[in-house]
Amino acid sequence: MRTPTDNYWLFFSQCILCRSHTKHPRGICPDCQRDLPWIDTCCPRCALPQTHSYLCPQCRKAQAPFRQVHALFDYQFPINELIAQIKYHDKPVYMAALAEMMARHLRYIKPERKPDLLIPVPMHKKRLRQRGYNQAEILARLLGKLLGIPVNCELLSKHQATAQQMALHRNERQKNLRGAFSCRPFEAQHVALIDDVMTTGTTVSEICQVLRQSPGQTIDVWVLVRTAEDR
């Protein structure tokens, strides 16, 4: 008969990707971690994966509403599968392994570039009821704990249930989100907006408009996955 202790042992000693036994306590074994689609070269501002590290065409064309995006992975196997498991198959527990890798990457940020506050991208309450959790909030809380940065999940809210961004074209995405978010006043001068995936950046840009409290404020964006449009 299986006891709760057995379950604990199973969870922490099997890699969530290859199921091999591992002493690694984070859920993904070192071999699988090495093979993940880490972003190698990318746009220095929006972290879009590309073959060189100059500004991407979009960032050359227009001023971004954020200072810098930090992203860990390209949207490829098995990260795309893990994100789908977390979002659509009730496996928010997998976020712990991803958050731990992200925290390790973000520890190299210089102290003066470290944000004072983490704010997750909110979910409309209707979708939140359907899913039962907001994966961006889980990620923000885990990162806050691992990096010692306060988290506030109450400032931003999404008060319009919008169509899924992935299914829309670029100009439709902007229209779809107009006026969908609002933000309460807050004091922090440097914030990081947290989300699981960033595609065209339309959601992030829309949120930056409502998040900005003063011209001198710095907004960074931390996402697990950064990908080009339509992938």
Our CA angle for 174, 205, 91, nearest 5°, is 90
32 belongs to the binding site for Zn ion (CB under 5 A) = yes
17 belongs to the binding site for Zn ion (CB under 5 A) = yes
Residue number, 18 or 128, with CB nearest to Zn ion: 18
197 belongs to the binding site for Zn ion (CB under 5 A) = no
Contact present, 38 and 76 (Cβ < 8 Å): no
- The answer for residues whose C-beta is within 8 angstroms of residue 165's C-beta and 6 or more apart is 173, 176, 177, 199, 200, 202, 203
Residue number, 46 or 83, with CB nearest to Zn ion: 46
* Out of 29, 72, 193, 198, the residue judged to bind Zn ion by CB under 5 A: 29
42 belongs to the binding site for Zn ion (CB under 5 A) = no
99 belongs to the binding site for Zn ion (CB under 5 A) = no
79 belongs to the binding site for Zn ion (CB under 5 A) = no
Contact present, 158 and 137 (Cβ < 8 Å): no
59 belongs to the binding site for Zn ion (CB under 5 A) = yes
78 belongs to the binding site for Zn ion (CB under 5 A) = no
**199-228: contacts with Zn ion (CB under 5 A):** none
* Out of 14, 18, 190, 210, the residue judged to bind Zn ion by CB under 5 A: 18
Burial annotation 181-209 (CB, 10 A radius, 16+ → b, else e): bebeebebebbbbbbbbbbbbbbbbbbbe
How far apart CA 192 and CA 68 sit, in angstroms, is: 9
- The answer for residues whose C-beta is within 8 angstroms of residue 122's C-beta and 6 or more apart is 134, 136, 137, 153, 156, 157, 158, 181
Query: Which part of the chain contacts Zn ion (CB under 5 A), choosing from 48-56, 123-131, 147-155, 210-218?
Result: 48-56
Minimum distance from CB of 6 to Zn ion (Å)? 20
46 belongs to the binding site for Zn ion (CB under 5 A) = yes
Q: How many residues bind Zn ion (CB under 5 A)?
A: 11
Minimum distance from CB of 201 to Zn ion (Å)? 8
Name the site residues for Zn ion (rule: CB under 5 A): 15, 17-18, 29, 32, 43, 45-46, 48, 56, 59
